[in-house]
Structure 1
């Protein structure tokens, strides 16, 4: 079993999470629990494969091939019951890069692109940068349980939305959409001819009692109008190696996106990323299973620790290693909450407002760290909440 108790020292490694604290929070003494990478060492087979590749000593031009495609085909079939063809796969450095290319090739300026807020913040920025029209469909929050507003979606679809970016499992709220929910979404998408970009980067990180369903695995007349975006980077803590893939069954769309990568000179992946993907998907299962157990333990710790406090609510996560915390009962402005969390509590979390206006009063917490590290953070938070009670 993987030992996740050791805490690696990441300072001085140009770590975005650790070496930008002064810049982001005004102090280097803040305990970071924000950006979505893990404070956990990668699986030993992946580490060894990378060491072997480094020891080879040459890092020349490297290509992907059918053998690598077959590794991906097997992974998505074995883990998600998604049946694809090797030729459906398009590799890229990251999911966001592929979304950029899809927006450029499948929409025109001023076309409407829809997202469901609160949601991963780069989506809105990409849409605006490409001069497309951002359309938001707020999720329905019923006592901390989020659902899609299908009526609102249909109204927007009727009014000319061309593309939708789906987050599944959802970041930051942690929902794992059910097959029934996705079928309803597909029914509407088919009726109104909507292209769906489905960001499924957290697909492998789902808690017991829930199951990730790739929207592309469902039977629908609009099946050819789905681009599924996946990667081993979240599952195996490989974000810095920049490796992802898109599953694009429609040949015309696939070639348009491939050609866009060529046009922008993005035609090659780094050899370490390729090595990491192949090893993760062929030898990483035991480590991933141990990781899921740790995340479950950490999630339970957060929920049980904060349950007695009526001024903070933990949204019940069904997937991802990100928890969505509701601090609205503190009656603080966005700036006040951000400042209080960093300067008074001493924790660096993601501000909820960055995920959309309906994230006001929320903060996102990354629990992909050793158990004792999460406990330390909770000790700081509960002490601050206790003090807040006294002041009230």
Structure 2
């Protein structure tokens, strides 16, 4: 696998690489990778393409076995085949769950700054966004458990959407933290939807614990969301997995999914999932080494050349959350600055939470040459900005 190949993605209908209003932009946004998929996945999709018939598709025993084997091997967590439910994506799945578990006016807890589609998903169902804002201190994030307890105790608070590992701050929650969350949920009859999309993308020295494994006593009141999409760069195949141990909830979920007409998988999604989980592990192990190297490269560059920008050390994900408060720019102006002055596109921090106007989210899942080019452009733009600020003093 050539991890240094800067593959051209413009004019490929890529969301990440579509900038009709701008030219020569380097997108360091949107959480997909600029790496080709594992050869086993490409081979499986090519074989299916050559077959030439792409009709309605169902789920095979091999599909279920590949998921069960992956979770057992990677996390030593046995899962029941009956738990496995389909969704075309995590956000559609959470939407279906909210339609079953909540009523308009109910409260849903999120731990901001957090993946921004959570906000609109909650509001779409007439529910209230209840913020259990993470504590940010000395470059690190932690959970405010006293606040979580208080928010969970409200009579109309029904559910917590947990991001584990957390996007965008990159925290891998410890078993102790997950147990405390579970204890609070049990005390207040709180459902937990655990979004574990990035659970496979964990850096050395850290270990992702699935919520069910950290606290088995809460599985009847919890749902675990996962997918091969972020792990293996196949989000476009639209095949996600929800693990729902609670039989009553599972039946309601599947009924609602069928009612929305979302019950059938993508013909290529099934093949891609099987190939990823059966044969993709060597590719993933290489990817993690590449991401580790890219992460360190970004940290070293910022420390040496851009002290105004403080990167938060991610324990997981292929994303880096960067505090740009030293630049003295916030909100829309911050990302406009990088887009116009450096031709680099980031995910805007304020979208993840009101507390994050001075942050940007950087995707490092691309060849180092592309990262280096983006960093050099940023350095040039910040140098000019630095001179202008000094001139005004």
> TM-score band (shorter)?
over 0.9
Q: Is 1:193–1:222's contact at 8 Å kept on the other side of the alignment?
A: no
Q: Deviations over 1:54-81 (max 9, x none)?
A: 0011111111133311211110111012
| Equivalent position of 1:329 in the other structure | 326
| Equivalent position of 1:185 in the other structure | 181
Matched, 1:195 2:194: no
1:384 deviates by 2.0
Give 3-state SS (helix, strand or coil) of 2:320's partner.
Answer: strand
1:221 deviates by 3.1
5+ unaligned residues in a row in structure 1: which ranges? none
| Equivalent position of 2:289 in the other structure | 293
| Equivalent position of 2:107 in the other structure | 112
Aligned residues: 387
| Equivalent position of 1:42 in the other structure | 37
Please list every run of at least 4 consecutive aligned residues from structure 1 whose deviation after the TM superposition is greater than 4 angstroms: none
Please identify, of 302-311 and 176-185, the stretch whose mean Cα deviation from structure 2 is larger. 302-311
Matched, 1:69 2:64: yes
| Equivalent position of 1:124 in the other structure | 119
Give 3-state SS (helix, strand or coil) of 2:366's partner.
Answer: coil
Matched, 1:313 2:310: yes
| Equivalent position of 2:17 in the other structure | 18
Matched, 1:367 2:377: no
| Equivalent position of 1:341 in the other structure | 338
| Equivalent position of 1:55 in the other structure | 50
Give the distance between the partners of 2:215 and 2:236, measured in 1 at CA.
35
1:220 deviates by 4.4
1:223 deviates by 2.2
1:371 deviates by 1.1
TM-score of the superposed pair, with normalisation by structure 1: 0.97
Q: Is 1:163–1:197's contact at 8 Å kept on the other side of the alignment?
A: yes
Q: Deviations over 1:31-70 (max 9, x none)?
A: 1111111111111111011000000111111111333112
Give the distance between the partners of 1:3 and 1:220, measured in 2 at CA.
41
Give 3-state SS (helix, strand or coil) of 2:217's partner.
Answer: coil
TM-score of the superposed pair, with normalisation by structure 2: 0.96
Give the distance between the partners of 2:96 and 2:382, measured in 1 at CA.
45
| Equivalent position of 1:357 in the other structure | 354
Q: Is 1:201–1:234's contact at 8 Å kept on the other side of the alignment?
A: yes
CA RMSD in angstroms comes to 1.1
